Amino acid sequence: MLAPRSYTREDVVELQCHGNEVCLRRVLRTCLEAGATLAQP
């Protein structure tokens, strides 16, 4: 969802994938390599 329409007024994307650890790591690595950042608490 593009800002400012998201709850935090930031660009946000939510991903859902298979719970397999290998798949999850690959998806996460690919997103981070493309410039995504992890949400902070």
Per-domain boundaries in the chain: 1-41
Q: Where are the alpha helices (DSSP H) in the chain?
A: 21-33
Instruction: Report CA dihedral (14, 30, 35, 33) to the nearest 10 degrees.
Output: 160
Whether the per-residue pLDDT at 30 is higher than 90: the answer is yes
pLDDT band of 20, cuts 50, 70, 90: very high
Question: Does the predicted TM-score (pTM) go above 0.85?
Answer: no
Mean predicted confidence (pLDDT) in 8-31: 89
pLDDT band of 9, cuts 50, 70, 90: confident
Whether the per-residue pLDDT at 3 is higher than 80: the answer is no
